[in-house]
Structure 1
């Protein structure tokens, strides 16, 4: 059972979020969180402290820096271009219905894989042993 604090008093809300924000910033410790999330060491579930500050610094300076985002924008633009080009070439007519849910899922997986690994692992034009392993 988790303790919950509910208030509608503006001064109490200010007290919680301005003066005692570190106390309220931590997430509840659960057994599932311990076993499924590497004992809460990932960015999304780490408790506030030195480890969380190091993870935040790393993601801010390395992963989500403006230089890194600009460098990886080429990957996103290329994959969106391929996404839009695919259904157009698959159909013989100009106006056809296309199921996009799987296309968007493939787009997001491919963008993440290209950003992390530097290779495309999904799509019809991919002929690679390593890609075949990943797909299985």
Structure 2
């Protein structure tokens, strides 16, 4: 989990979040790169798409309406639209529901904590409780 200031754009933190992935395996090296990244329109920047392409990660991110209009306005020079798997994107509702669950915790929803480390510890505690389903 990466905790940033409330005014910080989430899309700018995608690379830092992906660099923190560390999934141990029964044998061999731990997994550090996902196969697919599903995200909302806030993560559709060219920088993020290029990073995912360079790391051979499939991006399931819809384009913003203004990006689509801008590309179409350029005509044939606008290029092809990025690939988008609409069927896979339907599974993103699980993530949205988990965020809604986090919002039920008053301290997390209102961000009363002054220190980022305190706020992060509360999010980790909530994730553990969710995982244990207590």
Give the TM-score taking structure 1 as reference length: 0.27
More strand by share: 2
More helix by share: 1
Give the TM-score taking structure 2 as reference length: 0.27
- Greater Cα radius of gyration, structure 1 or 2: 1
Query: RCO higher in 1 or 2 (8 Å CA, sep ≥ 6)?
Result: 2
